[in-house]
Amino acid sequence: MKTAAVAPAATFVIFGAMGDLARRLLMPALVNLEAGGLLDPATRILGISHGAGDDEALRKHLAGLVKGADWKRLRKRITYLQGDFTEESLFAALAGQLEGNVVFYLATAPGFFGTIVEHLGKAGLLDEGSGFRRVVIEKPFGSDLASAQALNRQILAQAGETQIYRIDHFLGKETVQNILVARFGNAMTEAVWNSRYVDHVQITAAETVAVGSRGKFYDETGALRDMVPNHLFQLLALVGMEPPNSFDAEAVRTEKAKVIAAVRPILPDDAVRGRYSAGTAGGEEVPAYLDTADVAKKSRTETYVAMKVAVETWRWHGVPFYLRTGKALSARDTEIVIRFREAPVTLFRDTPTDALPPNQLVLQLQPDEGIALELAVKQPGPLVETVPARLHFSYAEQFDLGHRTGYETLLYDVLIGEQTLFQRADQIEGGWRAVQPLIDAWRKGKPEEYAAGSAGPAGADALIARDGRAWNRIA
């Protein structure tokens, strides 16, 4: 195995360093990079937050999930700066502390993204004279098409697209990156990856966790905005894109943007929204969504969505993509199912077989990452009877995955200037454009109830049954 090179030295400036993301994901990921020998010894971390604090307080906060010699080495290089993200004085103070390469990581509430970038630009902190200046922006990137376009304009007025790293943490998952290899590294898959052989595609991101303590954020966001134009569309893009002519970031991002742009805006008739009522999910008692802290009593927010998506390219003409995601469901299951067309049964007419189980390729993204291929085989015995059989590859059986947050590759890529796994402005806007009719329509009415711990609302089953198809079981 080739080993990656040590990343260039840089200062990580984390806005919102006292928050949950910095402690739960960023710090563990940086420690894992340090453990892998991928961080330059001159790497520094400068955390900014509005509360009173000092270097020790920040180190204590970030120490939550990390320990060992690698953490101890990084710990010494962490400093704290108190400041208000909306005040010029913070950026003037920051300017005095920075030189060389800098990564500005916006781990803040989304309302601050535009303001921070504007201040950074005006303070000259994004000028790349003495080293690179890169900005990492978390999601949600906008809350609809107009706000995403406005945010892109605001940011791009201060920095070039090559300086902007819009995070979609799904792209940090090893198995998500493997989709491209599974598709383009295998003649066998790519040859049948089109409307001639594929009947339909299902993309599922089912979670057992409920909204819990995230009521405030979630009630303003909902399942559609939280998961679809970003995470699920990134998966759709990886499955649906045309082959790029290299793994070069621009080549890959252009093909992804093209397929997202080919998604026909989704009509309310082709979508279902759900909201969980009380039940048991993931082994825990879950109160009804409406009884969750910080959720409005008259909330219309959905915790589940399912939709039928048309990708209007030659490759996918007539092949629906069915997408669904939800909270408090029966199992955690993120998967992509490529369902192939049924084989003609004529050959079997004098046998007990009157239909053949369709082939399906299941890319299991979590948990138990792997790939399964379902084929028809003959049941042993004198008669020609067919049954489905499963060929299965498991990542955990084949490789030592270790404990990773999914952010390691993303942070490393920011340091080395590799943008493939980050969203370009046009991809983001394409995702919002496709779901905008649902955002508009769902300002009225309310979601269909489903019991926490179930597989989702009955309407989602009806949506796909309408086309004579069924969802793969969430398991």
Site of interaction with ligand BG6 (CB under 6 A): 139, 207, 226, 334
For ligand BG6, the closer of residues 44 and 173 by Cβ is 173
CA geometry: angle 455, 229, 316, nearest 5 deg: 85
Token duo for residue 269 = 């008739």
Residue 474 and residue 324: Cα distance in Å, rounded? 11
Shortest distance (Å) from residue 202 CB to ligand BG6: 17
Question: CA Rg, the chain, in Å?
Answer: 24
Cα atoms found within 13 Å of the Cα of residue 430, Cβ hemisphere only: 24
Token duo for residue 473 = 């079981």
Shortest distance (Å) from residue 405 CB to ligand BG6: 10
Residue 390 and residue 360: Cα distance in Å, rounded? 9
Assess whether 169 carries a catalytic annotation. Answer: no
* Alpha carbon of residue 49 to chain centroid: 26
Shortest distance (Å) from residue 418 CB to ligand BG6: 21
C-alpha distances out from residue 454 to 127, 279, 427, Å: 52, 8, 33
For ligand BG6, the closer of residues 20 and 467 by Cβ is 20
Shortest distance (Å) from residue 475 CB to ligand BG6: 16
Residue 116 and residue 106: Cα distance in Å, rounded? 8
For ligand BG6, the closer of residues 226 and 374 by Cβ is 226
C-alpha distances out from residue 150 to 33, 104, 199, 425, Å: 35, 20, 38, 11
Residue 377 and residue 369: Cα distance in Å, rounded? 25
For ligand BG6, the closer of residues 199 and 369 by Cβ is 369
Shortest distance (Å) from residue 428 CB to ligand BG6: 14
Residue 149 and residue 164: Cα distance in Å, rounded? 15
The beta strands (E) that lie in 212-340 are given as 271-277, 279-281, 284-286, 304-309, 321-326, 333-340
Return the residue nearest ligand BG6 (CB atom).
226
Shortest distance (Å) from residue 168 CB to ligand BG6: 8
Residue 19 and residue 27: Cα distance in Å, rounded? 11
Residue 49 and residue 88: Cα distance in Å, rounded? 14
Shortest distance (Å) from residue 334 CB to ligand BG6: 6
For ligand BG6, the closer of residues 121 and 447 by Cβ is 447
Shortest distance (Å) from residue 407 CB to ligand BG6: 10
Tell me which of 61, 169, 200, 231 is the catalytic residue.
231
For ligand BG6, the closer of residues 121 and 229 by Cβ is 229
Report the first-to-last Cα separation within the chain, whole angstroms. 34
What are the two backbone dihedrals, phi and then psi, of residue 115, each rounded to the nearest 5 degrees?
-60, -45
Please, where are the H alpha helices in 123-267? 145-156, 174-184, 187-191, 215-227, 233-240, 249-261
For ligand BG6, the closer of residues 131 and 406 by Cβ is 406
For ligand BG6, the closer of residues 221 and 386 by Cβ is 221
**Residues marked as catalytic:** 231
